Amino acid sequence: MTIHIGAKPGQIAETVLMPGDPYRAKWAAQTFLENPELVNETRGMLGYTGTWRGHSVTIQGSGMGMPSLSIYANELIRDFGAKTLIRIGSCGGMQDKVKIRDVIVAMTASSFSTPSSGIFRELNFAPCADWSLLQAAVLAAEARKVPTHVGGIYSADVFYDERPDLNEQMIRHGILGVEMEAAELYNLAARYGVRALALLTVSDHLITHEALPAEDREKSFGDMVEIALEAAFA
């Protein structure tokens, strides 16, 4: 048990999927895991552990933004022994070729700053995904015939962005999508020597202004969860 995670020793698996929304963690656990058990509800940030094809898996909400994710990822790795952490979330598309419902496999994650910036100081550290997870996720997506894009994403500090000039430069430099957590997850994975990957379903689009209807999100996110599980145990 830690300050933010109420699980007992042995209740957290070495493989952890991390959606931002705790209720999406509940949905994913009840949909994809066998015998899911609620192992954390501290501060309403739900976490469940069950099995998938005989493998132990925890699905733990991370909250919104890098500071919140940093708390949960630090405790999961440091105190509970998590070895593989996969963010499963939504993002805004930033390229014409990226369509609503497509899945982005984040190779790198650019950011203005992260909770780790105080460690790096003047250094612009380049956080990236674990290659084995990235490769396995791409193969799993191809096998499922899910439209997938691999490349860089942007982890923003704010949701209500008022920097159209920055978005223009992100698009110009090939950034596929924008979200709020992956850069810090990749920083922490590098620091602790564990595996990390961010898989993102495009739920809205900064260029076309399309948005995925709420009733369609679960099915689209389901593809992403299954890709994550297959990649974790490839």
The 10s digit of each residue's pLDDT in 154-213 is 999 998 888 889 999 999 999 999 999 999 999 999 999 999 999 999 999 999 999 988
What structural domains and CATH numbers belong to the chain?
Answer: 15-232 (3.40.50.1580)
Tokens linked to 47: 């976490």
Does residue 132 have a pLDDT over 70? yes
Decide: helix, strand or coil at residue 221: helix
Can you tell me the mean pLDDT for 143-153?
97
- Give the pLDDT confidence score for residue 219 in this predicted structure: 67
Burial of 212 (C-beta count, 10 Å sphere; 0-12/13-18/19+): middle
Between strands 148-155 and 103-111, the pairing is: parallel
Model confidence pLDDT, tens digit, residues 4-32: 999 999 999 999 999 999 999 999 999 99
Q: Where are the beta strands (DSSP E) in the chain?
A: 15-18, 34-40, 47-52, 55-60, 84-93, 103-111, 148-155, 177-179, 195-205
Q: Which residues are catalytic?
A: 204
Is 80 strand, coil or helix?
coil
As a whole number, the mean pLDDT across the chain is 95
63 is in an annotated binding site: no
Reported as a single tens digit per residue, the pLDDT across 208-220 is: 999 988 777 766 7
* 3-state helix/strand/coil string of 5-36: CCCCCCCCCCEEEECCCHHHHHHHHHHHCEEE
What per-residue confidence (pLDDT) applies to 163?
86
Q: What is the pLDDT of residues 27-85, one digit of tens each?
A: 999 999 999 999 999 999 999 999 999 999 999 999 999 999 999 999 999 999 999 99
90 appears as a binding residue in the annotation:
yes
Cα separation, 189 vs 193, whole angstroms: 6
In this structure, what token pair is assigned to residue 69? 């994710």
What pLDDT score does 39 carry? 98
203 annotated as belonging to a binding site for a ligand: yes
pTM of the model: 0.95
Q: Is 88 marked within a binding site?
A: yes
